[in-house]
Amino acid sequence: MAKDYKQLIKNLDPAKIPQHIGIIMDGNGRWAKKRMQPRLFGHRAGAKAIRKVVELGVELKLKIITFYAFSTENWTRPADEVNGLLKLLIEYLTDEIPELNAQNIFVDFIGSEAGLDEDYLATIHSLAAQTHQNTGMKVNIAFNYGGRLEIIEAIKKLKPDEIEKLNPDNFGDYLYTAGQPDPDLIIRTSGEYRLSNFLIWQAAYSEIYITDTLWPDFDKIAFLNALLDFQSRKRRFGGIG
Ligand code: IPE
Ligand code: IPE
Ligand code: MG
């Protein structure tokens, strides 16, 4: 693995590293099922996979990684799975904060706060705040995130004079990702060919990379392969390139 890894890193063009990558971390349930384990076993393994991806992101000097952790539609899952996922988010952050600080990573949440338990929100925000002195890579955790709801919440914030001035270039200023570049690349694991309501406004011109690898198995080599594939694309943005 070490040799492959070095070779793959060498093949990357440092001038074409994406600024922002969005990751749809899918396949935890299937990973657990293959091992005849409960779904939460897969979610725990999935949480562990995040660290390696973050490490490589720092090494490659990415600006932002957005991890899709829990969608506005995921509330429809059985209560024990939902509760397990909510608990896991707190456990994950609590365990990872020393490492995130060691790597100078700023953690933030994107998603809706509507209807969420206030104590829960206060807990996750105070955990993220422990990284807010950091100046390096930004990690967005998309939690209770839905692209359609994000757009509706943005519209509801608009004042009449802002509506007047609205255009495709400034609408992003009202989204959860205000001030951040759109994702250059969106990675989805587990072989599903859909966005599932992830960054639907911001992904207008994102390159999309889908791998059959299930999220808990996604490692640095898998990440490098996604980046190399991205670097082989010709982005045209509607022009003739
Ligand atoms: C992704 O894994 C994690 C979340 C959606 C929270 P899944 O739980 O969707 O795993 P599969 O798709 O059932 O394998
Ligand atoms: C998308 O995965 C949401 C997250 C990864 C958090 P899902 O497993 O919820 O998506 P669908 O249901 O297959 O579209
Ligand atoms: Mg899934």
Q: Which of 28, 74, 104, 229 is catalytic?
A: 74
* Ligand 2, atom 9, residue with closest C-alpha: 74
Report residue 3's pLDDT band, with 50, 70 and 90 as the boundaries.
Answer: low
Q: Which of 4, 11, 13, 26 is catalytic?
A: 26
Read off the pLDDT of each residue in 219-223 and give the average, rounded to a whole number.
98
Domain boundaries of the chain, sorted by first residue? 19-230
Residue 241: per-residue pLDDT:
78
Pocket test for ligand 1, best of 30, 85, 86 (most atoms within 8 A of CB): 30
Cβ neighbors of 164 (< 8 A, separation 6 or more) are none
- Encode pLDDT of 129-178 as tens digits: 999 999 999 999 999 999 999 999 999 999 999 999 999 999 999 999 99
Residue 207: phi, psi to the nearest 5? -80, 145
Residue 231: per-residue pLDDT:
98
Contact 35, 55 (CB under 8 A): no
> Which residues share a beta bridge with 64?
20, 138
- Encode pLDDT of 189-212 as tens digits: 999 999 999 999 999 999 999 999
pTM: 0.98
Q: How far is Cα 139 from Cα 231, in angstroms, rounded to an integer?
A: 22
Contact 183, 21 (CB under 8 A): yes
- The CA-based angle 21-236-145, given to 5 degrees, is 30
User: Is ligand 1 within 6 A of the CB of residue 29?
Assistant: yes
Read off the pLDDT of each residue in 30-43 and give the average, rounded to a whole number.
98
Smallest-distance ligand from the CA of 68: 2
Contact 136, 105 (CB under 8 A): yes
- Position 27 pLDDT exceeds 90: yes
User: Is ligand 1 within 6 A of the CB of residue 225?
Assistant: no
- Encode pLDDT of 68-125 as tens digits: 999 999 999 999 999 999 999 999 999 999 999 999 999 999 999 999 999 999 999 9
Among residues 152, 150, 145, the alpha carbon closest in space to that of 196 is found at 145
Judged by DSSP in three states, 135 sits in coil
Query: Which residue has tokens 């952050």?
Result: 93
Read off the pLDDT of each residue in 29-55 and give the average, rounded to a whole number.
98
Class of domain 19-230: alpha beta
* Ligand 2, atom 14, residue with closest C-alpha: 196
- Encode pLDDT of 51-68 as tens digits: 999 999 999 999 999 999
Distance 135 CA to ligand 1 centre (A): 31
Q: How far is Cα 206 from Cα 63, in angstroms, rounded to an integer?
A: 16
Q: Hey, what amino acid is at 13?
A: D
Q: Hey, what amino acid is at 173?
A: D
**219 catalytic, yes or no?**
no
Residue 140: phi, psi to the nearest 5? -95, 130
Beta-carbon count within 10 A of 224 CB = 19
Residue 1: per-residue pLDDT:
60
- Position 2 pLDDT exceeds 90: no
**104 catalytic, yes or no?**
no
User: Is ligand 1 within 6 A of the CB of residue 190?
Assistant: yes
Residue 237: per-residue pLDDT:
97
